[in-house]
Chain A
Amino acid sequence: MPGDIIYYALVGAGRTAQAPSGLARRRYAGPDGQVPVDEALRRELTWEPDSAIAEWEFGEVGADLVEISEAVAARLAAGWRVLWDDGG
């Protein structure tokens, strides 16, 4: 687990994992690489601390979290960069 990053598509109402409304990720840090660090992608395309994953693990019934690959996450982020740079 240390060194891994797990990416999640945040699938809100009317969305799919292929076209989510947000991205979250869990990476592991700390001296022994055992401490989970949860983040979500902001509109500025930076990863910032966020509790979406923890809330989901505590039974949140809002948006679904679907695990995706890093490649898929990167592709989604790249698409948003183009979309939002165009003022979308």
Chain B
Amino acid sequence: MPGAQDRWGQLAGPGAPMHEAINADRPYGVEQPERGSIADLRRRMERLPPGHPSSPYNDDMTPKPPIARLKDLELPLHSAEQSSNGADPRSAHDLAEDGWADARAASASSTRASAAGSTIVAAASSNGATGRNHVASTLGMTEQLLTRDRLVTADEPYETAEEPQDAAGEPDDDGPDGSAEGTDGTSDWLSTPTWADTDLGAADDPGGPASEDDEASWNTTGWDDASSWDDATDLDGASSDEADHEWSEPEPGADTLTHATIEADPGRAADEPFTGPDGSWEWNGRYLTPDESRVADGALGRCRIAEGRNVFGGYGHSGLTPAMRRIEAQLEHGQLLPDTEIRALKSADNFKEKLADLILRHPDKSAEELALEVHDGIRYTFIFDAEHYADGTLQAHSRLKGSGFDLEVRRNCWQSPEYKGINSRWRDPAHDLVFEVQFHTMASWDVSQRAHSLYEAITDPATPPEERARLRSIYADMSAAVPVPRGCTTIPDYRKEG
């Protein structure tokens, strides 16, 4: 009778040489490890069905990404403390014993790193063990740490493997602008005098007329139509309610069974994401039930696959990020953000924060539905100089369309007093998920980054209304200095019907 290992082998089939390589060094059945030993646990986990939370392999038989130890990433290690291959000097037993505590520490580190505008490797930030399965997750962490060397030596079906990013270089990616306090590379890049030296006279008046050429280029593309947007917005007239509403401070969120206002645990910092023993999640006053948290993990897992980074941290031909790089290479002007690979995937905690907001905001939808509507789980940003912004944005749209992506929404915010830029939402038919693409000039991107903390406060429901108004005024003052690129106002909003 075939055992679990045999069924796994059948599932893997000839397309999974990686697993064969992984298992080749273990003479199965010849030597039984001591029950309860690391080797025994490793064997048992490898016999779990692929996709099982404790299995070291995904549904598609690819190994799960190795879990980085965040404290090793964010703290400069003394040379004497760091072994030559970067491996943790502690024993496997120590790792197993400390795994749960490390998962909590990793979660806390994630917040600290985000708050400081530093970086977290996406795979690491999204792999905090859930409380419900913390024993299994702990074992999983240990297992993957132990097997990392073997995974790396397996056959590699990809061309490149990037070096792990510096922990200080990855952004907190939440915000309308893929925002983050600048990474080192970004800061250097943004500090170039390109936009500061821009001739303001070259920019259009935001409300000024557009040249016929510019307008023609958008109106003749034929694949989107602003009229559909206009039709959609004329459903009902504005409210004419004259009731006098008394001033009152915002009340805390309703106390319900599933989304009560979060009381901070006195034993931990309030700003740390926390996964409870039951698998629930909370952060910044947001809360997900265990089921909702699992839904978020699943949705983010789909994003991770679609984004394209493989288990070794590199990219092959498939996936959205390689596709975006190919599109970038075809552009006459403009480029993706230099650290696109770091920014593209939303961190697990930011993803869950967004889902928690959507669940509260859309009570007539399920968490499963809403998880698929987190449109910026993957986000890309193209930067153009002001002179070529309109043409470059048009060309990028054309390339995206030509690559098989479907435009669902485009919003031209250049006439907004606050946020400047164009945001768009696209669907990747291959992975059946949506992602966001932003189009900026150097100046608009720079302001969106410098004002990101303002944006976070503005969109925090706990911010008092008068304070929010004050912050929006400051944001608008900062944006007022951004030159509006020629022709950009002719780019119409768009929303796909249906």
Given the contacts A29-B246, A35-B465, A61-B425, A54 and B459 also touching, CB distance less than 8 Å: yes
Beta-carbon contact of A48 and B461 below 8 Å:
yes
CB contacts under 8 Å to A, within B215-271, are 232-233, 235-248, 250-251, 253-254, 256, 259
Complex Cα–Cα for A49 and B222 (A): 41
Identify the closest chain A residue to B425 (Cβ): A61
A18-56 Cβ-contact flags toward B at 8 Å (1 or 0): 101110100111110011111011111010111110110
Beta-carbon contact of A6 and B416 below 8 Å:
no
Is B384 positioned at the interface, with any CB of A under 8 Å from its CB?
no
Which of B362, B375, B465 has most chain A Cβ within 10 Å?
B362
- Interface band, chain B: 35 or more
Beta-carbon contact of B411 and A44 below 8 Å:
no
Beta-carbon contact of B419 and A58 below 8 Å:
yes
Complex Cα–Cα for A48 and B256 (A): 13
Is B102 positioned at the interface, with any CB of A under 8 Å from its CB?
no
Beta-carbon contact of B241 and A4 below 8 Å:
yes
Is B468 positioned at the interface, with any CB of A under 8 Å from its CB?
yes
Is B42 positioned at the interface, with any CB of A under 8 Å from its CB?
no
Complex Cα–Cα for A52 and B373 (A): 14
Beta-carbon contact of B238 and A37 below 8 Å:
no
Beta-carbon contact of A3 and B245 below 8 Å:
yes
Which of B155-163, B321-329, B363-371, B484-492 makes up part of the contact surface? B363-371
Complex Cα–Cα for A33 and B358 (A): 29
Beta-carbon contact of B372 and A80 below 8 Å:
no
Beta-carbon contact of B360 and A40 below 8 Å:
yes
Is B495 positioned at the interface, with any CB of A under 8 Å from its CB?
yes
Identify the closest chain B residue to A25 (Cβ): B239
Is B455 positioned at the interface, with any CB of A under 8 Å from its CB?
yes
- B329 CB to closest chain A CB, in angstroms? 25
Is A87 positioned at the interface, with any CB of B under 8 Å from its CB?
no
Complex Cα–Cα for A49 and B360 (A): 11
Given the contacts A36-B465, A43-B363, A62-B375, A69 and B236 also touching, CB distance less than 8 Å: yes
Is B436 positioned at the interface, with any CB of A under 8 Å from its CB?
yes
Complex Cα–Cα for A59 and B425 (A): 11
Given the contacts A4-B241, A48-B251, A72-B236, A57 and B418 also touching, CB distance less than 8 Å: yes
Given the contacts A27-B245, A30-B247, A59-B176, A44 and B256 also touching, CB distance less than 8 Å: yes
Instruction: Give which listed residue, A55, A69, A80, contacts B176 with CB less than 8 A.
Output: A55
Complex Cα–Cα for A21 and B469 (A): 27
A20: B residues at CB distance < 8 A: 364
CB contacts under 8 Å to A, within B451-498, are 455, 458-462, 465-466, 468-469, 472, 495
Instruction: Give which listed residue, B245, B360, B459, contacts A28 with CB less than 8 A.
Output: B245
Identify the closest chain A residue to B461 (Cβ): A49
- A38 CB to closest chain B CB, in angstroms? 8
Beta-carbon contact of A12 and B370 below 8 Å:
yes
A3: B residues at CB distance < 8 A: 241-245
Is B421 positioned at the interface, with any CB of A under 8 Å from its CB?
yes
Beta-carbon contact of B461 and A29 below 8 Å:
no
- B33 CB to closest chain A CB, in angstroms? 49
Complex Cα–Cα for A74 and B455 (A): 31
Which of B240, B245, B410 has most chain A Cβ within 10 Å?
B245
Beta-carbon contact of B248 and A29 below 8 Å:
yes
Instruction: Give which listed residue, B363, B375, B468, contacts A22 with CB less than 8 A.
Output: B363
Complex Cα–Cα for A17 and B363 (A): 15
Complex Cα–Cα for A52 and B461 (A): 9
Given the contacts A6-B239, A41-B363, A13 and B176 also touching, CB distance less than 8 Å: no
B400-417 Cβ-contact flags toward A at 8 Å (1 or 0): 000000001111010010
- A69 CB to closest chain B CB, in angstroms? 5
Identify the closest chain B residue to A88 (Cβ): B364
B242: A residues at CB distance < 8 A: 3-4
Binding site for A on B (CB under 8 A): 176, 232-233, 235-248, 250-251, 253-254, 256, 259, 357-358, 360-365, 369-370, 372-376, 408-411, 413, 416, 418-419, 421-425, 436, 455, 458-462, 465-466, 468-469, 472, 495
**A-B residue pairs in contact (CB < 8 Å), sample of 17:** A3-B243, A10-B362, A30-B465, A31-B247, A48-B253, A49-B461, A50-B360, A51-B357, A55-B176, A58-B455, A58-B459, A59-B419, A66-B232, A67-B237, A68-B235, A69-B238, A83-B364
Beyond the given pairs A28-B245, A70-B241, 9 more chain A to chain B contacts, judged by CB atoms under 8 angstroms and listed by A's residue number, are A21-B364, A35-B247, A42-B254, A42-B360, A48-B251, A54-B458, A58-B416, A63-B373, A68-B236
Ranked nearest first, the 3 interchain pairs of A and B with the lowest CB-CB distance are A43-B363, A51-B459, A49-B250
